[in-house]
Structure 1
Amino acid sequence: MSISKPPFFDGNNYSHWKAKMTIFIQALDFNLWDIIIDGPELPHIISQEGIKTLKPRSSYTDDDRKKVQLNAKAKHVIICALNSNEFNRVSSCATAKEMWDRLEVTYEGTNQVKDAKINMLVREYEMFSMKENENISGMFVRFTNIINSLQSLNKCYTNSEMVRKILRCLPKSWMPKVTAIEEAKDLNTLALEELLGSLMTHEMTIKNHEDEEEQDKKKKKVIAFKSSTPDSSEDESDDEMALITRRFKKYLAKKKFGNKQFKKTFPSKSETKKEEIICFECNKPGHYKSECPRLKKAKDTIKKKKAMLATWSDSDESSSEEEEDQEIAQIALMAINDSDKDEDEDEEENEVSELLELLEKFSFENASLKKTVKSLNKENARLKIELECSSSKTLEDKTISLEKENEVLKVEIDALKKTFSKFSNSSDKLDRLLGLQRCVFNKARPRL
């Protein structure tokens, strides 16, 4: 836009155009602004009857021509800033003040409308606060829009009031900074722009600290993920289960290695006689290991413990870790049943029995914990029902008691009205009797 041209008004955002137009006219000639605000003193003549009329142009003096020329110049500045629709609105006005006032009434309304707008903007000013996840610059833009709208309606706040309002609208996380500013600065002399710069600097430091913390978290994410544990009891149980699985794997590896050597050195049935056969389980002659009674007893105990494992796995199907432990246990048990044992199998069976006892203990603990959870859920549901019932009962009791109290008060009011009517009638009767009495010194006979 050229500096010599006035700001153009197309019918939108009148308050913005008014502020720019005011500055333009004052910069052009301050006498023009006085004429627009106060009105021009056009030359006029007062007749003998006291009627004021405009002076004809033929009788203008030099001073009169200067006044008329200033009015025409002010009208010209206003007209050059309007479009065709706005020009038609003010073209019939004789003075620049009439044009300016007509535009104000059209777009700002009458005094009543201005008061309503001022009240609405003052309410926005009083309720103003910083929004969540809003930065300082965005908050200051909203605050400036409210202040400018109030200033266009001739409602202004002092600098100290605006500074205190900005400090009040900040959230709780900014309270240390607010107290520091209040103690270090004088709020009566602190400029609003200086306060804005201090708050923006503090916001930048906070953001830098947050970025550094996020980078540190990303670096330590893997380590933190490995070290994070939900509960110490769960860690102990996981360590025990891991120990059990490792021992099972070692046992299976030994069995596989032992089976290969055993198959190589195991003689066929056709080459040996039954009397020369020695059982590898009990080291007694006359029967094979598969026919050994001692091994049959061990198989029966293993079957019972397998049944226990099956019940334990059915009780907790949602846990993937327990399913893996169950599969390892079943594989180990199948390996025990299917494979032949060496001379050192007694020690290995003892280890297996110990592991199965541990699994049995865990299954019982899991079942007891599930029972406690179910009982707690039932108790929680029962307490919720009791709470709802008690709240509904108390409300009903309160309403009933209030209704009864209302009825009692109505009866009392009716009784008081009746007594009051009796007293009013008696006062009228007393006035009549007093009016019929005569003075003691009046000895005249009453007229009949």
Structure 2
Amino acid sequence: MAQSLSLNVSNRVGGSNRAPILVASEYHHSSQRIERYLKRLGRDVWRCVEEGPHVPILTPVQADSAEDILGGGQAAINRPTKDDIDKMETDALVFYEISCGVAPDNFDIIINCKSAKEIWDVLKNLCEGSEQAQDKKLITTLNEFNNFKAHPGKSLEDSFKRFNSIVTKLSNVGTVRDNHETNLKFLNGLG
């Protein structure tokens, strides 16, 4: 059992040579790990997720010789530059890394995605939900914070862990409380 738990944690956290697994129920933490992992791979890597794949601009070029002009009448297309090729290779790397970081139960959802950005956006929408779902999470978490009370018979440490989890959830939904308010709320919740 301990080995299985250790392997599960190892897969979720990832490693120096593989992306962490994105776990939908732990989306905020998982997405942060994946973002940090990708940024560590290089400065242009996270760009692929934020901006989407690089599309080289290929333009027709004028024929250079009389033979080209008489040969077929079609203008040639310029080739991608070295920079274009490097960016497209980075796009492919990021696409692979994010694809491998998707848990098997969510893989069918992203199987038809064509870019790392598309995968990231689909997973974000899946895990965070619509604006209405996000509002509901915010209201629920605010209610949890406002109604915090230590459970009778629980240790101070258990109460603090539960309260800290609520404060973290608040941060994850975009609401941050100052330390004074947080400390006061915890102390008042102890009864």
Is TM-score (shorter-chain normalized) higher than 0.5? yes
Q: Name the count of aligned residue pairs.
A: 162
Does the CA-based 8 Å contact 1:19-1:152 persist in structure 2? no
C-alpha distance 67-124 of structure 1, shift in aligned 2 (>3 A) = same
- Show the 5 A alignment for 1:157-306: 157-171=177-191
The runs of 5 or more residues in structure 1 that have no matched partner are: 48-56, 172-448
Partner of 2:156: 136
Q: 1:148 to 1:35 in 2, by over 3 A?
A: farther
Using the TM superposition, give the Cα deviation of residue 119 of structure 1 relative to its aligned residue in structure 2, in angstroms: 1.2
1:158-191 deviations in Å (ceiling 9; x for gaps)? 43432333233232xxxxxxxxxxxxxxxxxxxx
Mapped partners of 2:184, 2:52: distance in 1: 39
Larger fraction in helix: 1
In 1, the alpha carbon distance for the partners of 2:187 and 2:151 equals 14
Code of the aligned partner of 1:88: D
Flag structure 2 segments of 5+ consecutive residues without an equivalent.
Answer: 1-9, 61-76
Provide the C-alpha distance between the structure 2 equivalents of 1:82 and 1:40, rounded to a whole number of angstroms: 19
Letter in 2 for 1:133: G
Question: What does residue 5 of structure 2 align with?
Answer: none
The partner residue of 1:37 within 36, 43, 50 is 50
Q: Using the alignment, how far apart are the partners of 2:54 and 2:180 within structure 1?
A: 40
Structure 2 counterpart of 1:122, from 123, 130, 142: 142
Shift, 1:11, TM fit = 5.2
Distance (whole Å) between structure 1 residues aligned to residue 32 and residue 178 of structure 2:
19
Out of 24, 40, 50, the position equivalent to 2:37 is: 24
- Hey, what does 2:74 align to over in structure 1? none
Higher-Rg structure is: 1
SS in 2 for 1:59: coil
Residues 237-386 of structure 1 mapped to structure 2, 5 A cutoff: none
Alignment CA distance shift 1:3-1:60 (3 Å) = same
Amino-acid identity (%): 25
Name the residue aligned to 2:117: 97
> Any idea what SS the aligned residue of 2:44 has?
helix
The 1-side partners of 2:125 and 2:141 are apart by: 19
User: Is residue 146 from structure 1 mapped to residue 159 from structure 2 by the alignment?
Assistant: no
Q: Distance in 2 between matches of 1:63 and 1:114?
A: 40
Q: CA deviation at 1:138?
A: 0.7
Displacement of 1:99 in angstroms is 0.6
Residue identity opposite 2:151 in structure 1: K
Note the C-alpha offset of 1:45: 5.8
TM-superposed CA distance for 1:12, in Å, is 4.6
Counterpart contact for 2:58–2:78, Cα < 8 Å: no
Q: What are the superposed Cα offsets for residues 383-419 of structure 1, whole Å, 9 maximum, x if unpaired? A: xxxxxxxxxxxxxxxxxxxxxxxxxxxxxxxxxxxxx
Counterpart position of 1:63: 83
The one-letter code sitting in structure 1 at the alignment partner of 2:37 is: F
The answer as to 2:106 corresponding to 1:86 is: yes
Cross-structure match for 1:226: none
Say what the alpha-carbon RMSD is for the aligned residues. 2.8
TM-score (norm 1): 0.32
Q: How far apart are residue 46 of structure 1 and its match?
A: 8.7
Deviation larger for 8-17 or 144-153 = 8-17
Looking at structure 2, the residues matched to 113 and 9 of structure 1 have their Cα atoms a distance apart, in angstroms, of 20
Q: Which residue of 2 aligns with 1:73?
A: 93
Cα deviation for residue 81 of structure 1 reads: 1.3
Normalising by structure 2, we get a TM-score of: 0.69
Measured in 1, the distance between the counterparts of 2:142 and 2:116 equals 31
Between the two structures, name the one with larger relative contact order (CA 8 Å, sep ≥ 6). Answer: 2
Match of 1:106?
Answer: 126
Question: Structure 1 pair 107/67, CA: closer, same or farther in 2 (3 Å)?
Answer: same
Aligned residue type for 1:142: R
Give the CA deviation at 1:127. 1.3
